[in-house]
Structure 1
C-alpha cells in the first residue's frame, strides 16, 4: 500500500501492469524481451549473468554452516555492505576541517576514491583533451565557492545551532544555504553585531507550506519549490511530534508536540500550468528572487524539466537518490530513486535539444563528497552543487542514522536542549570544507586544461568509462550518460543574467 500510495495510485487494478519502475544494470535485450516498456538507460547483465549469480547464491547457501553475515545494509558494518561513508573517512574529514589541513583532506579524498563503486560516476574517469594549464590561471576558490549550497535542511530537522551555523558559514563565502521546509525566524534576517548573517539565502516552499509568509519569502534571493525529495520521491515529509518544540511550532504556525505531515503532492500543482502560476506569483511577491524547482532523478525527468523551463523557472535542481537520507524510511533509502547522474544527463540533453538550456541553471545534489564529484557533475551539465550530508559531517555528524528520533548524540538533528549542548560545529569548519573542495576543483580543472567551470559544463567528451575489476560492472554501458546533444547557437550553459522575468499579467 505504501508503494502504491507513493506512485499516486488508488486501486490495485491501476498498479497491475503499470511498470512503475525502471531497470538499472539489466541488458536492454533482456528488458525488451521480458519487461517491455520499462526504461533501462544503463544496460548491463543479461540472462547468462543472472544465471551465474543464481548459481553463486545457491552455492553459498549450501556451504558448511558458519557465522551468519551481519549484513550492514542500513548501518556501516565491517565486512558488511559497502557504504559511501565509513568511520575512518568521517574522522579524517572532521580532523581536516578542524585543523584547516588540506593535506588531511587529500587523504580523505584518496579514501573516498578507494571505496568500492556505489554510483555511476565511480565507473568514470577524466580524459583530458588539452594540455594542463598553470593553477594560477584557473578560476579562484572564491568564485568556485559561490556555486555551492549546503542542501535543503529545515530548522526542525536540524537543531537551531546547526541550522544557523550552516547559514553563517555559507553567507561568509557568498554561497547559499536553504531554509528547508518549515519557516525561519525573522530575526535571523538581521546581521549580527560581528557582521555574521544567519539568514538563509534560499527559502523553500514545500507541499504543506509550513512557515511560508510574505516576510519569509522576501528575506531571500532565491525561492525553491520542492516537488519531491531525492531519497524518498512521492512520500512527502514528516516531522515527529516529539521534535515539534514550542519554537518549531511557532515558526511553522502549528501546535507544539503535534506531528507535522507534508503531503506527497502540492495540492495547487497538478500541471505545468499550475506550476507556472506559482512561479509567477512568487516573482510578484519578491521582485528580485530567482525561483528554483526541485525535481528528483528518474526516467522522464527531462520532459518535466523542459516544462519547468518554459514555466519561467530560473534554476532546476536535480536531486539524486542519496540526497536527504537521514530521516527517510529505510525502504526508500535503499529502493527508491536513482543516481543523479541519470537524471542530470537526461535533463541537460533534453533542455539542450529543445534550445532551453541557456535559459536555466542546473543544480545537482545527492551524495556529493569531493571536488571530483563536483567536476563530474559539471561535465554532465551542472552549474551549481548542493553538498548537504558532507557539510553536516564537517560540523560533527557521525552518521548514526537517528535523525528522525530526536536522539542525535552530537546535537545536530535534535530539538532536545541537553543534546543540543553537545553541538561542536562552527562556521569555520564548514568554510574550510568548501575551501578544500574548491581547491580540489581547481586542481582537476588545471589537469583538464580548463580555466573555469563554465568552460567544461556539459563536456562529457572529457569522461571515459573505466574498469573497476568486476565483470558485472564492466558489462554496464554508460554511453547514454556521455551523449553530447547539439546545443545549436545557444550553448550548453545558462547565459541569462539575473532571472527570467514574467509578464505583468499571467494571462497576457
Structure 2
C-alpha cells in the first residue's frame, strides 16, 4: 500500500550505470522475496533500462499525477536520475511535478553492472551537482524543489561540499553498507569475531574487493537471502556501527561549518569553496585556490560578483 510509505521515489537511472538496466538473479528470489515482490520464485528478473510505458516527459507527468491521486496528495514524489544530461534531466523532472530530484553521480556504488559502465558511463558527482543547481535556478525553483545529491558521498567533508554547492541534502548508500560490515574480514556472532577470508576466496575475491552482491553469497551476511549467511549479520552490532559512522560524519560536517563561520550547515555556500585542480574548478565553477580564476570564465571574474 503506497499510502503507508513516507515518500515515493521514481527511479529513472542510477549514477553507476545511467542508461543501463539490471538483473535480479533467480537464486536470490527465495519464497520470502517472491511474496514481497509478487514474483515467481527462483526465476531471473530483468530490470529494463527504461520504463516501457514512458516515451517522453509527458508520460512522467501523468505517472506522478496518478501516484498523487493514489496517495491522496499526501506523499512527496522523488525522481532519481543518473548523472548524464543533468541540466535537462532536472528540468524535465521539475516540469513533470517532482517534489524532490535526486541526482546520482558516477562515483555511486553498484555490484550489478559491467566494469565498462562503472568506469566510462555517466559524469562525476561534482559536475552533476553544479548542473542540477543551475537548472533549478534557471527555472526559479531553487528552494521550492529539493535537490538531493548522491554518488560517492562518504565523509562529512563530502556532505559539506555538496551543501555548499547548493544541494539541500545528500543520500548515502555504499558508505553505510561498509559501516554495516560489508567487505569486512570478519563477522560477529554471539560476541565473537570469525574470519570470512575463506568464504571470500571461494567467491574468487578478498575483503575490500568483493563485488559479489548479485550472487547472494555475501560472506558477512549483508546482501544475501541465504538463511545461514544471514545469521552472520547481527542487527544490533550492525546498527551500532552505522550509528557511529553517521555520528562521526555529522561531527565532521558541523566542524567544517563552524570553521567557515556558519551556525547552520545549510548556511554553507559556494563562497566557502575553492578548487585544488583546474579540472575541479571547471566542473564546480568555483575559483582555483589562490586565484579568482574560474576556468571557462574571463580572468578577473570573482565568485563574489
Structure 2: distance between partners of 1:481 and 1:325: 25
Cα distance in 2 for residues equivalent to 1:328 and 1:403: 11
Number of residue pairs aligned between Structure 1 and Structure 2: 259
Alignment-derived partner of residue 415 in structure 1? 225
Residue 64 (structure 2) aligns with: 279
Does 2:254 match 1:442? yes
Query: Distance between the aligned counterparts of 1:385 and 1:483, measured in 2?
Result: 20
Find 2:125's aligned residue among 320, 340, 343.
340
What is aligned with 1:429? 241
1:282-340 CA-partner distances (Å, limit 9, x unpaired):
11111311000001112x31122112112221100000112232222222122222211
Structure 2, unmatched stretches of 5+, are 184-207, 288-305
CA contact (8 A) 1:460 1:482 kept: no
In the TM superposition, residue 246 of structure 1 has moved relative to its aligned partner by: 1.0
- Distance in 1 (alpha carbons) for counterparts of 2:172 and 2:280: 28
> Residue 298 of structure 2 aligns with which residue?
none
Q: Which residue of 2 aligns with 1:289?
A: 75
How far apart are residue 483 of structure 1 and its match? 5.5
Normalising by structure 2, report the TM-score.
0.81
| Structure 1 pair 282–483 and aligned structure 2 pair: CA distance change class (3 A) | farther
Once the two structures are TM-superposed, the CA of residue 408 in structure 1 deviates from its matched residue by: 0.8
Cα distance in 1 between the residues matched to 2:86 and 2:64: 19
How far off its partner does 1:414 sit? 1.2
2:19 maps to 234
> Whole-Å Cα distance in 2 between the matches of residues 259 and 278 of structure 1?
27
- Secondary structure at 1:404's aligned position in 2? helix
Map 1:159-238; keep pairs closer than 5 Å: 215=1, 217-238=2-23
Residues 119-162 of structure 1 show CA distances to partners (whole Å, capped at 9, x for unaligned) of xxxxxxxxxxxxxxxxxxxxxxxxxxxxxxxxxxxxxxxxxxxx
Rounded Cα–Cα distance in structure 2 between residues aligned with 1:476 and 1:383: 24
SS of alignment partner, residue 279 of structure 2:
coil
Determine the C-alpha separation between the residues in 1 that align with 2:152 and 2:89.
Answer: 23
How many Å separate the matches in 1 of 2:88 and 2:20?
Answer: 21
8 Å CA contact retained: 1:463, 1:482:
no
1:257 to 42, 52, 63: 42
Contact 2:18 2:83 in 1 (8 A): no
Structure 1's unaligned 5+ residue stretches are 1-214, 467-473, 485-508
Which has the higher Rg, Structure 1 or Structure 2? 1
Of 359, 366, 377, which aligns to 2:162? 377
Distance 1:275 1:410 in 2: 39
Quick check: 252-261 or 474-483, which moved more?
474-483
Q: Say whether 1:462 aligns with 2:272.
A: yes
Equivalent pair of 2:17/2:82 in contact (CA under 8 Å): no
Partner of 1:404: 214
- Give distance in 1, aligned partners of 2:135 and 2:36: 39
Q: TM-score, normalised by structure 1?
A: 0.49
Larger relative contact order (CA 8 Å, sep ≥ 6):
1
* 1:319 match: 104
Shift of 1:438: 1.0
Say if 2:273 and 2:286, in contact at 8 Å, map to a contact too: no
SS in structure 1 at match of 2:143: helix
Measure, in 2, the Cα distance between the counterparts of 1:480 and 1:433: 29
Q: Which residue of 1 aligns with 2:279?
A: 476
CA distance in 2, matches of 1:305, 1:483: 21
Change in Cα spacing, 1:320 to 1:477, as seen in structure 2 (3 Å) is closer
Root-mean-square deviation over aligned CA pairs: 1.7
Cα deviation code 1:184-230 (max 9, x no counterpart): xxxxxxxxxxxxxxxxxxxxxxxxxxxxxxx1x11212100000111
| Structure 2 CA distance for partners of 1:285 and 1:323, relative to 1, 3 Å | same
Matching of residues 9-28 of structure 1 within 5 Å? none
Q: Deviations over 1:248-283 (max 9, x none)?
A: 111111111100111111122221111111111111
C-alpha deviation, 1:418, in angstroms: 1.6
For residues 483 and 444 of structure 1, the distance between their equivalents in structure 2, rounded to whole angstroms, comes to 18
Counterpart Cα distance in 2 of 1:285 and 1:357: 27
Q: 1:358 offset after TM fit, Å?
A: 2.6
| Preserved contact between residue 394 and residue 430 of structure 1 (Cα < 8 Å) | yes
Would the alpha carbon gap of residues 352 and 328 (structure 1) be closer, same or farther in structure 2, given more than 3 Å must change? same
Q: CA deviation at 1:344?
A: 1.2
Q: Is 2:102–2:147's contact at 8 Å kept on the other side of the alignment? A: yes
Inter-partner Cα distance in structure 1 for 2:230 and 2:65: 40
Distance in 2 (CA, whole Å) between partners of 1:362 and 1:442 is 20
